[in-house]
Structure 1
Amino acid sequence: MMRSPSDTPRVLAIAEAANPDWVSVPLVGWSLAHALRARAEVHLVTQSRNREAILKAGYVEGQDVTFIDSEAFARPLWKLGEWLRMGQGKGWTMVQALNAIAYPHFERLVWQQFGERIAAGEWDIVHRITPLSPTIASPIAARIAKTGTPFLLGPLNGGVPWPDEFDSERRAEREYLSYVRNAYKALPGRKATLKHASAVLCGSRHTASEMPESCAHKVVYLPENGIDPARFNATVKPRSGLLRAAFVGRLVPYKGADMLLAAAEPLIERGAIQIDIIGDGPMRHALEEQAGGSECVTFHGWLEHREVQNVLRDAHILAFPSIREFGGGVVLEAMALGVPAMVVDYAGPGELVTPETGIKVPLSSRAGIIKGFRTELRRLAEDPSQLAPMAMAAQARVQQDFTWARKAEQVAQVYDAILTGRALPSVF
C-alpha cells in the first residue's frame, strides 16, 4: 500500500557514533537522530559506549534506544590505530581505514538483533546516520533491500583532497594513507551499499561529486552540521573598538592557527587586534612562541563545548584558515551567535559562508592565504562595525537552514519522497 504523506514514518536510525556529551561525529549522530524524533517514530541503535550519556538524556533502553556491544572487536582495532597513528590527533585516515574493518561487525550484530523485525515490516525506513565517512560500507544494505524496506544512507562526508600547496602539512599530520584513499572506490562493499540505498545524503559538494554516475539520481545534498539553539544561544555582547578575532580548533598544521598569527602579526605589533585561541594540540608550544608572549593573544586551551560560546560571543569575527575541513561545525556555531567567519574558500567552510554572511579568502599557497587574511584583518581593524550587517545575516542563515530541527525537517522530506514514490527533493 502506498504511504500517505500525512503518515508518521517509523524509522530505525543506526548511528554507531551518537553521543550528546561529545563533539564531532558523535554529536552529529546524536543531534540528527534526536531531532528526527519530532518528525518520525525513531528507534535509535548505537554503540554501547554511548549508553550512559544517552540514558542521562532521558531515553529509555529498549523503548527509545538499543545499545550494541561491539567492543570485543572494535577496541583492539582502536588500540592498533592509536599505535599506528604515532601521535595523538594525527593520522585520521588510518583511523577511518580501521573503522572500515571494525564497522561491519557492528552491523552484523545489528542484523542479528533486528533482522527479523525489519523483515516483518516493523519500520518504514532504516537510516544509517553514522559513520559519516563515505569509505565505510554497510553490509546490511543488501539484506534490508531484500525485505522491501527502504535503506537511507548519510549524511556522508569526508575525503576532501589535500591542497597541493600543503603537502608538508599533510605529512606533518601523518596522513600517508590519504595518498591512496581513492582506492576505496573499487571495494565491492561500496558498490553494493550504494546500489541498495534508496537515497544517499551527501554532506558536501565534494562528497556528492565522488558518487558514481549510476547513483547520481539518489544523491541529496545536505550539509552534515547543524546547531542546537539550546547549546549556542548566548547573547552577543556589544562589540566596538579594538578588533577581536577568535580561532577555535585543534592546534594542528591543517587548521592554520599559525597562518592566522602570521597574518595578524602587523596588527599584533601595533596592539590593534585581540586574538582568542580556543583549543589545544601538538602545535601549542610553537604557537605560543610565535605569539611572543604578546598580550594581544590569549590561549584558552580546551574548553567544554558549552563554554566555547562564552569566548566566541565577545569576538567580532571567527578567523579560521583551515585548509581541509570536511564540515566546519565551528563556523556554524560562530554564525549562530552572530559572529561572521573569515575562512579559506575550500570544502565545508567555503560552502557554509556566503558573501553576505562572512569573508572567504581564496585557497592558494600558504603565503597567499596569509596575505589574504592579512588584507582582510587590516581592513576590519580600521572599522570593525562594518561586520554588523554580516553578523545579522549569518545568524539569520543559521536559523533558517542549520538548526537541527530544520535538518530533521529536510530529512523528513526525503523520507516522504522515498515512501510515496516521488522524486527526491532538493532540500537545501
Structure 2
Amino acid sequence: MTSAKSTRPRVLAIAEAANPEWVSVPLVGWSLAQALREVADVHLVTQIRNREAILRAGLIEGQDFTAIDSEAVARPLWAVAEKLRMGEGKGWTTLQAINALIYPWFEHLVWNKFGPAITAGEFDVVHRITPLSPTIASPIAKKVAKAGVPFVLGPLNGGVPWPRQFDAERRAEKEWLSYLRSAYKHLPGRTRTLKHASAILVGSHHTQSEIPECYQDKTVYIPENGIDPTRFNQIAQPDNDVLRACFVGRLVPYKGADMLIAAAADLVRAGRMTLDIIGDGPMFNHLTAQAKSLGCDTGLTFHKWVPHAEVQAILARSHILSFPSIREFGGGVVLEAMALGVVPVIVDYAGPAELVTPETGYKVPCGPRDDIIAGFRKTLTELAKEPASLEPMSRAAKDRVDAHFLWGRKAGQVRQVYDWAMSQNRSEKPDIFAAPIRQLSPKSA
C-alpha cells in the first residue's frame, strides 16, 4: 500500500460524466478529476461521449484517460428517457431512474478494462466521482473492496425535497417520480455500495441525512461545486448609483425568476435598481410579458443564454446575485457570483443556504410564494438605499470562496480523505471544514 504521507496516491477516477465544454454535472466531474491531478496520479475513466472534448483539452488517451463505449445500452435507453421526461429540462427524477438502468453496464465495462489492474494493486484508490446522484449504486464497489483497495464514493448530492408550498411547480417540472423517490433507499445495490465504500463524500447536509446511521462514520461533508479561478477571475466593480442585480439560471418555475421580477418591479420602475436575467427556458415569454405588464421592462435586460465563459462579464457589473430558486442541490451559480465578489441574495433552503453565511450574503426565509416575494422585496429595498455599503460583504464572499471552494482547495480536501481511507488508523475521520462549515446547515439560519 502506498504511504499516504510520502507519495502521491495512484487514483483511478471514475467519472461517467466529465466534460470541460459542458456545464452542471459533467463540468463538476471534469473539474474535480482535473484538480485531483495536483495531489495524486490520476487516470480518468469516462464515457465515450466526452472523448473529443477531453482530447481538445489536451489530455492523452490511454495515458491520462480512458473512454468507455457503453453506447450499445446507453443510446437507446437515453432515447426512452427523453420521451418519458415530457419536455427539455423536465422530469429530472425520471431521467435519474433511467440512468440507474444505464449506469451498471458502464461500470461493468470499467471493471472488464481495469479490474485486473485494480486487483494487482496498480491503484491505491478507486474514486467514483459521478454520477452525483445518491440513487445510483456502484456494481464494482464490492469487487474493489475485495481487492483490498479503498473505494471512495462521491460527492453524492440530490433529492432535496420540494417545499410543500410549491407542489404546482413540482408538477410543472413533470416530477411525478419524485413522490416515490425514497424507494431507492430499499434497493439492495445501494446497501452494498455504502457497505463497501471506504469513504462517502456527501455534497449536502440533506444527502448526509439520508445515509443510514451505520455508515455515518464513513461520511465526509464536501460541497460538490467548486470554482476554476481561470474561468472566474474578474472582480465585480458595479457603478454605485443604483443597485445592480443579476439572475442566472434556467427560466423554469422552480428557479423563481417570476418571483424576482414581482419583488423588484417597483424598484426597477423607479430607476433605483437594474436587473439582468441570464438564461432561457419555457417561461421566457411569460417573464417578458410579466415585466411589461408591471412597467419594469425598461430597466430589465433579458440576455437569454450566453456562453458559460461570458457569464462572469455580466455578473461582474452587478452588486448582487438575486436568486430565489426554491430547489437547488449544489448552488454552483452562487459560488460563481461569490468568486467575483457579487453578494448572493437567496432563499434559505437546500444547497445555496449551505454556502452563504451571514457575513457573505442574504437569506430570505423559505415559505409560500407571496412570503418569498415580500422577503426579496424588503431585502432589495434596503440594499437599494446604499449599494456601496455592500463592499465589505463583497470582499468577504470572495475571500470565502478563495479559502474553501477553489477546485485546487477541494483537491486538497479530497486528498485528506484519500489519506484517511488508506490509513491503517481510521479512528479520526477528517473534519474538512470544521468550524467554518458547521454553521451552514439550513436549520442554523
The reply to whether TM is greater than 0.5 is yes
Q: Which residue does the alignment assign to 1:123?
A: 123
Shift of 1:190: 0.2
Is the 1:136–1:190 contact (alpha carbons within 8 Å) kept by the matching residues of 2? yes
Cα distance in 2 between the residues matched to 1:328 and 1:256: 14
Cα distance in 2 between the residues matched to 1:235 and 1:157: 30
Q: Which residue does the alignment assign to 1:190?
A: 190
Q: Which residue does the alignment assign to 2:442?
A: none
Cα distance in 2 between the residues matched to 1:367 and 1:238: 30
Cα distance in 2 between the residues matched to 1:238 and 1:66: 44
Report the residue type matching 1:89 in the other structure: G
Q: Which residue does the alignment assign to 1:399?
A: 402
Shift of 1:71: 1.0
1:144-159 to structure 2, matched below 5 A, reads: 144-159=144-159
Q: Which residue does the alignment assign to 1:224?
A: 224
Cα distance in 1 between the residues matched to 2:61 and 2:331: 32
Shift of 1:72: 1.2
Shift of 1:273: 1.2
Q: Which residue does the alignment assign to 1:299?
A: 302
Cα distance in 1 between the residues matched to 2:400 and 2:272: 30
Report the residue type matching 2:170 in the other structure: R
Cα distance in 2 between the residues matched to 1:117 and 1:330: 39
Q: Which residue does the alignment assign to 2:357?
A: 354
Cα distance in 2 between the residues matched to 1:6 and 1:231: 32
1:233-272 to structure 2, matched below 5 A, reads: 233-272=233-272
Cα distance in 2 between the residues matched to 1:39 and 1:229: 18
What TM-score do you get using the length of structure 2 for normalisation? 0.95
Q: Which residue does the alignment assign to 1:322?
A: 325
Is the 1:43–1:63 contact (alpha carbons within 8 Å) kept by the matching residues of 2? yes
Report the residue type matching 1:46 in the other structure: T
Shift of 1:2: 7.2
Summarize deviations over 1:144-179 as a string: whole Å, max 9, x none.
111111100000000000000000000011101000
Cα distance in 2 between the residues matched to 1:238 and 1:318: 12
Q: Which residue does the alignment assign to 1:51?
A: 51
Cα distance in 1 between the residues matched to 2:55 and 2:256: 38
Q: Which residue does the alignment assign to 1:171?
A: 171
- Identify unmatched segments of 5+ residues in structure 2: 434-445
Report the residue type matching 2:224 in the other structure: E
How many residue pairs get matched? 428
Report the residue type matching 1:143 in the other structure: K
1:55-70 to structure 2, matched below 5 A, reads: 55-70=55-70
Cα distance in 2 between the residues matched to 1:25 and 1:173: 19
Shift of 1:5: 1.3
Q: Which residue does the alignment assign to 2:441?
A: none
Q: Which residue does the alignment assign to 2:440?
A: none
User: Which of 387, 394, 412 is the matching residue for 2:390?
Assistant: 387
Q: Which residue does the alignment assign to 2:347?
A: 344
Q: Which residue does the alignment assign to 2:39?
A: 39
Summarize deviations over 1:274-299 as a string: whole Å, max 9, x none.
10000000000000000107211100
Q: Which residue does the alignment assign to 2:372?
A: 369
Report the residue type matching 2:87 in the other structure: G
Q: 1:2 to 1:245 in 2, by over 3 A?
A: closer
Summarize deviations over 1:209-262 as a string: whole Å, max 9, x none.
000011010000000000000000023224311111000000000000000001
Report the residue type matching 1:239 in the other structure: D
Deviates more, 1:231-240 or 1:135-144: 231-240
Is the 2:77–2:98 contact (alpha carbons within 8 Å) kept by the matching residues of 1? yes
Cα distance in 1 between the residues matched to 2:199 and 2:282: 40
Report the residue type matching 2:202 in the other structure: C
Is the 1:2–1:420 contact (alpha carbons within 8 Å) kept by the matching residues of 2? no
User: Which of 383, 396, 415 is the matching residue for 2:418?
Assistant: 415
- What SS does the corresponding residue of 1:295 show, helix, strand or coil? helix
- What SS does the corresponding residue of 2:297 show, helix, strand or coil? coil
Cα distance in 1 between the residues matched to 2:374 and 2:71: 48
Shift of 1:408: 0.2
Is the 2:42–2:64 contact (alpha carbons within 8 Å) kept by the matching residues of 1? yes
Report the residue type matching 2:312 in the other structure: Q
Report the residue type matching 1:63 in the other structure: Q
Cα distance in 2 between the residues matched to 1:129 and 1:329: 17
Q: 1:2 to 1:251 in 2, by over 3 A?
A: closer
Cα distance in 1 between the residues matched to 2:145 and 2:341: 44
Q: CA RMSD in A?
A: 0.9
Cα distance in 1 between the residues matched to 2:4 and 2:267: 61
Report the residue type matching 1:420 in the other structure: S
- What SS does the corresponding residue of 1:45 show, helix, strand or coil? strand
Report the residue type matching 2:398 in the other structure: Q
Cα distance in 2 between the residues matched to 1:3 and 1:420: 8
- What SS does the corresponding residue of 1:414 show, helix, strand or coil? helix
Is the 1:13–1:126 contact (alpha carbons within 8 Å) kept by the matching residues of 2? yes
Is the 1:332–1:352 contact (alpha carbons within 8 Å) kept by the matching residues of 2? yes
Identity of matched residues, %:
66
Q: 1:2 to 1:407 in 2, by over 3 A?
A: closer
Cα distance in 2 between the residues matched to 1:174 and 1:228: 33
Q: 1:236 to 1:67 in 2, by over 3 A?
A: same
